[in-house]
Amino acid sequence: MASRVKPVDKLMTVDDALDLIADCKSVMFGGFGGVGNPPTLIDGMLKRGIADLTLIGNDAGFPEIGVGKLITARRVKKLIASHIGSNPEAGRQMTSGELEVEFSPQGTLAERIRAGGVGLGGVLVDTGLDNSDVTKGKKIISLKGQSYLLETALTADVAIVYAKKADQYGNAVYDTSARNTNPLVAMAGTMTIIEAEEIVETGALNPEEVVTPGVFVNGVVQSEGVNWRWVWERK
């Protein structure tokens, strides 16, 4: 009788995960307005004193919610995002020159992340062609009589992802709107760490449920949870 192959176990402690996120690293995160940001990993980065980060994600969170806490603590040197309006602290730091911010329209940002995840060099978009601030420093390409901006793909040293449930191999499912950009982010990190509310044995998930295949994932950590009612009341 052939022996059964033991499934790959990618479980790691939060401390092991934080060892992968060093100073001067680029970190890509999933979520929208704090919801879908991995709270335990973000709090761990704060406690570790990790700094000089380049963050890539949809927004700047709120001053005391999600990745916004890293910005408030001045741990971020550059942010690539679609907007920062929900975090006045990010605006203050940008105005004072403490924080470099690269804006990318939300759809374009998502496509740049997706492109990075699937190995493309960039995407062609027509958004912002009439805006010199958007086109500055970017290549314009003509294709079939139409002009496009070449928007380069985005990847990161580490991608941190928040999932409702994951198995030990890293297959993951998400909870409604907390899904947001997490599946795209999961593909675009050189190292991808999933923080999951619940971790189950490999094989326990219905394959039809899985959104992020474990092949993209390097580590899975147990979330210590977050009180989302408290989060929304603070907004």
In this prediction, residues 92-98 reach a mean pLDDT of 98
Cβ neighbours around 12 below 10 Å, total: 17
63 CB-contact burial (10 Å; exposed 0-12 / middle 13-18 / buried 19+)? middle
Tokens of 64: 């005391």
Q: Which range, of 63-72, 128-137, 224-233, averages the lowest pLDDT? A: 224-233
Q: What confidence score (pLDDT) does residue 182 get? A: 97
Structure-derived torsion over alpha carbons of residues 192, 196, 200, 205, reported in degrees to the nearest 10: -80
3-state class (DSSP) for residue 200: strand
Is 178:35 a contact under the CB 8 Å cutoff? yes
Cβ neighbours around 166 below 10 Å, total: 31
Q: Can you give the residue ranges of every domain in the chain?
A: 14-117+155-225
pLDDT over 50 at 1, yes or no:
no
3-state class (DSSP) for residue 174: coil
Q: What confidence score (pLDDT) does residue 120 get? A: 97
Is 193:17 a contact under the CB 8 Å cutoff? yes
* β-bridge mates for residue 150, sequence order: 124
- CA dist 33 and 22 (Å) reads 24
**Quick one: which of 157, 232, 218, 166 has its CA closest to 188?**
157
pLDDT band at 57 (very low <50, low <70, confident <90, very high): very high
In this prediction, residues 209-222 reach a mean pLDDT of 97
| CATH number for the segment(s) 14-117+155-225 | 3.40.1080.10
